[in-house]
Structure 1
Amino acid sequence: MLEEALTVLAAAGGTAVVQAAGTDMWTGLRQALARWFGRGDEQRQRGELERLDRSAEELRTAQAADTERVRIRQEAAWQTRIADLLESLDDNERAQAAEELRALLSQYKPEGGVSADRGGAAFVGRTEISAHTGGIAAGAISGGARTGTPSEPDPYQG
């Protein structure tokens, strides 16, 4: 069983795959992850490239009603693959692989902003949405969401 920090790292890897698929970051992340999984084995690296391509295709072709389910399934699948690889290594190899994965993921981390497709919108960073009429609907919220007219800042806030 992996320690909590490595489980979180594996989850971040799964999330990165899903977030990067279909974006400008995909090609670089795809290559880097395949090399990481391959651990120097070209055949294994090619196999991972094929798996990553299948995941990206499944995410790209998901019907609107299925998008969130497909995203969740793909994220969980890649989290499990990453955790399984880490778990299969001895302590020294695991520490090195974890550090390599952290460095890899930091290179392909979204800086912030908004991305949207037919399946919804993703907001990275602090985001406030105000609506005078209507509302918003979200499939997944990490960190909280608030709708409505923003309140006046406290005079002490500046």
Structure 2
Amino acid sequence: MLKVGDKLPKFEGINQDGISINSSQLLGKKLVIFFYPQANTPTCTVEACNLSDHYSTLTNAGLQVLGISGDTVKKQKNFHSKFAFPYDLIADENHEILEKFGVWQEKKTFGKTYMGIVRTTFIFDEQGICKRVIEKVTSKTAANQILEGIN
């Protein structure tokens, strides 16, 4: 998994509107990238809505926000539209971005082993250097977790 001090990996993804976003476009401002397992599932919805509810506080702190999951563009569009998120959601169906960040991992639930996304939030500075990794994301207070480490 990406660690503090690592550089923002080069990536390109398609957002909910079918527009390509690449990592170089995200430099110049502090950046929050949150990875979530699946659009429109209960815990992911709570996390994404918490970030949306506190979006102005996040942007006032100089942060830009980006969500990424392995969902299709259509699923991301539905999720984005349903909750009117003020930030982009990237569809990473082939898991290229997920793997670059190291969040596509083996998981276990009820004794069953499978590959999936480990809910993780990364915070980068203006130059694209990772300043913080939140591995134990609390969906209901995700924005507060991010803001706790911002100076």
Classify the TM-score, shorter chain.
under 0.3
Normalised to the residue count of structure 2, the TM-score between the two structures is: 0.24
Normalised to the residue count of structure 1, the TM-score between the two structures is: 0.23
Answer 1 or 2: which has greater helix percent. Answer: 1
Task: Find the structure with the greater CA-based Rg.
Answer: 1
Kindly indicate whether structure 1 or structure 2 has the higher relative contact order, using CA contacts under 8 Å at least 6 residues apart. Answer: 2
Answer 1 or 2: which has greater strand percent. Answer: 2
